[in-house]
Chains A and B, each alone.
Chain A
Amino acid sequence: MMPAIKIRNLSKHYRIKGPKKKEQFEALRNINLDIEKGKVTGLIGPNGAGKSTLLKILSRITLPSTGTIEIEGRLASLLEVGTGFNQELSGRENIYLNGAILGMSTAEIDAQFDEILAFSGVNKFIDTPVKHYSSGMYVRLAFSVAAHLQSDILLIDEVLAVGDANFQKKCLEKINEATQANRTVVFVSHNMSIARTLCDTLVYLKKGEVVKKGNSDEVADFYLKESTEVAKKVAVSDRIDRKGNGQATLQDLSCHHQNMNGVLTTGLSANFVSCLQINTTHQEVDVELRLNIFNTHGQFLTTLNNKLSGHLFKTEKSEVSLNCSIKKLPLMPGSYTIKAKVNVNGIQADVLDNAYTFKVLEGDFYGSKQWDKKRVPGVFIDQHWGIEA
């Protein structure tokens, strides 16, 4: 089958002002890629990988430096919701304005006006200037126009990062609905679990090059593994990619079961040990450590938190070690990463993504001798059942 988009030898460089002379920055390097018709293809990769540049070239906002792209079908792009919305105009007027900017004809908008309005849910306020809208209403209206764009190919960049969970779900359904009408979708996302559930194919871009393309589970696993490996190579104390005010920093983090470091077993005991350095002026401070646990899909599962579990720690020492012990580990077998957060006196002092990665081996959590073959790693909950006839 003919691909919807055929990219050959595509490069894009920008001239940027370096510290001394003008330098060239290569945003995309020799990309060769076929986007299949009727499928949802996701572009993933770290910041600066060239995902957005690629979308910009595909949507003709900017020209490539070399190479060619062949596009079969009408293409619409949605790099931002509500582009071109005018604050002074009413919702109704903005629907027509935004539609026209996105390339819809007045007849097309007329024909779908009621549907757009119903989807946005701003009915009562349709003749009010959008500057009086809440941000949620604004985004909903903007997405509604875009979702009703009729095209063979749709390019989307991070538009789903906005709106509440309910609306996000609606957006996903709308896009799925669109693909059933044999629409090709190219999607850029940072949210790995959305990318995995939404896309058939994923393309992993890094530093302007295609690293891997294939089935979404396969590529997502590869991407997460690679990004955690990068983090593992650097010791926690040497990491500089931190957020927070720096009043305290995480120096070390590990977990063990008996003598096994980094390997735990479901249903058995586990210990998490951390080492914190705190800048105190010999005053007692309140320390809170939060270890957020994510599975390989990048989904948040649960948190280990001393304050939440009722253990308040006050200290004036500059170095402390915090211990967390779990009697019966409720995690399903798989690999997990920890995002660590340290709060001092309730103020965020340190945030470290991918602070630690550990494995969980299969174990019998309930002691029931029943094994669950669930693929997505989640948690077990203590449960008791009854039956009455």
Chain B
Amino acid sequence: MQNHNNIAKQPTPHTRITAKSPSLGASLAEVWRYRQLLITFAKRDYKVRYAQTLLGFSWSFIQPLASVVVLYFIFQRVMKVPTGNISYLPFALSGLIFWNYFQSVVTQASASLIGNQSIIRKIYFPRLTLPLSRAIVTLVEPLVAALLFIIALLYFNEGSWFAALSFIPLLALTALAALGLGLWSSALSIRFRDLQQAIPFALQMLFFATPIAYSSSLLRKISPANADYLLYLNPLTGIIETFRHLVFGTNLSPHVWISVLLAFCLFASGLIYFQKVERKIADIV
């Protein structure tokens, strides 16, 4: 409980405003102070998402299952893509856990500044909370997909459900990569709205270039020899390959570290760029 009396007892904060943007450390400290807002934004987006829908939360289950069915018919029945001895349902889900989350975070974080222009122009709060809250609220999707995945493993009696828990650190890595891209594109979208048109298209291309519906060994087969490390410039390739290796014991390329490193680089650079333009956002949107 806080009231006038308590406020009076607190030391009066001193704020200094100058033409310079605050440092990265100061910005992150500010986000921490506003953590309540982060949660509130996430709650808002979650509630609004299922407002006035008939099926509500069930959509979180329907979406990954429907994607698996589509992938099954195209890649398994029509194209007969080999998946080793693994049943197609757990195989596809093991990729979709990460892909769906990646796609949602990139798309939503990219639009988060433009979508909240009216607040940005009228109130100060750390702008970082907007894309960050998207990464939190969309966590529902991979959690549901992971649950379905573990159920599928038990049903088909394949892989190790215990090793499947490794999805947690790998999901964190996915979040870093997705947020990194999201931070870049949300900040750039303010000047170049074209990005909002390009992103869904680029993600669609990336979906086919990522070993989700097929295995990464297939991808390696068609890539030029000695250059297969280039495949790992797509962070999701490394993440999904590692996950399948841990769960199903499939091959693991020595190049996966490139994906890991890149995820960190994307996040760090995105953060630095975003915070550099943060205070100019209100002048441009």
Interface of A toward B, CB cutoff 8 Å? 14, 56-75, 77, 79-80, 83-84, 86, 88-89, 93, 96-97, 100-103, 105-108, 110-111, 129, 150, 152, 181
Q: Given A71-B14, A100-B36, do A77 and B47 touch, yes or no (CB 8 Å)?
A: no
Q: Which of A68, A72, A77, A111 is in CB contact (< 8 Å) with B124?
A: A77
B4 touches A (CB below 8 Å): yes
16 residue pairs of the A-B complex, CB under 8 angstroms, read A61-B122, A63-B20, A68-B17, A70-B15, A74-B12, A74-B13, A75-B15, A77-B124, A83-B122, A84-B119, A100-B37, A101-B40, A103-B37, A105-B2, A107-B1, A150-B3
A70 to B16, CA, bound (A): 5
Q: Contact flags (1/0) for B160-172 with A, using CB distance below 8 Å? A: 0000000000000
Contact with A along B50-65 (1 / 0, CB 8 A): 0110000000000000
Using known A-B contacts A150-B3, A150-B4, determine if residue A80 contacts B15 with beta carbons closer than 8 Å: no
Question: Which residue on A lies nearest to B47, using beta carbons?
Answer: A89
A248 to B19 alpha-carbon distance, docked (Å): 51
CB pair A65 B282 closer than 8 Å: no
A69 pairs with B19, CB closer than 8 A: no
In contact, A97 and B40 (Cβ under 8 angstroms): yes
Chain B facing A: main interface SS: mixed
| A106 pairs with B36, CB closer than 8 A | yes
Contacts A62-B279, A70-B14: A102 and B1 contacting too (C-beta < 8 A)? no
- Verify B47–A64 contact, CB threshold 8 A: no
**Candidates A71, A86, A93, A101; contact of B17 at CB < 8 Å:** A71
Residue contact B279 to A100, C-beta cutoff 8 Å: no
Residues of B in contact, count (CB < 8 Å): 37
Knowing A96-B40, A107-B1, say if A79 contacts B16 (CB, 8 Å).
no
Known: A101-B119, A107-B1, A181-B4. A88 touches B19 (CB 8 A): no
CB-CB nearest in chain B for A63: B279
User: Which of B12, B44, B124 counts the most chain A CB atoms within 10 A?
Assistant: B124
Could you tell me if B15 and A77 are in contact, using CB atoms closer than 8 angstroms? no
Residues of B within 8 A of A (CB): 1-4, 7, 12-21, 34, 36-37, 40-41, 44, 47-48, 51-52, 118-125, 279-280, 282-283
Known: A86-B44, A88-B51. A62 touches B119 (CB 8 A): no
* Nearest Cβ on chain A to B114's Cβ, whole angstroms: 15
Tell me if B16 and A89 are in contact (CB < 8 A). no
Contact in complex: B124, A107 (CB < 8 Å): no
A88 and B123 contacting across the interface, CB-CB below 8 Å: no
The answer to whether B19 and A63 have CB atoms under 8 Å apart is yes
Shortest beta-carbon distance, B54 to chain A, in Å?
15
In the assembled complex, how far is the CB of residue A100 from the closest CB belonging to chain B, in whole angstroms? Answer: 4
Contact partners of A108 in chain B: CB under 8 A: 2
> B3 — which chain A residues lie within 8 A by C-beta?
111, 150
Q: How far is the CB of A30 from chain B (nearest CB, A)?
A: 13
Closest A residue to B38 by beta carbon equals A100
Closest beta carbon of chain B to A178's beta carbon, Å: 10
Chain A residues, CB < 8 A from B279: 60, 62-63
Let me know if A61 and B124 touch, CB within 8 A: yes
- Chain B residue nearest in CB terms to A110: B1
Nearest 7 interchain pairs by C-beta: A100-B40, A60-B124, A69-B17, A71-B15, A88-B51, A83-B122, A63-B279
Q: Of A14, A65, A101, which one neighbours B19 at CB under 8 angstroms?
A: A65
Separation of A70 and B52 alpha carbons in the complex (Å): 47
Find B52's partner among A72, A88, A96, A111 (CB 8 Å cutoff): A88
What residues on B are CB-neighbors of A61 within 8 Å?
120-124, 282
Q: Are B7 and A74 in contact (CB under 8 A)?
A: yes
- Is the beta-carbon distance between A150 and B7 smaller than 8 angstroms? yes
Which A residues lie within 8 Å of B18 (CB)? 63-64, 67-69
What is the CA–CA distance of A100 and B40 in the complex, to the nearest angstrom? 7
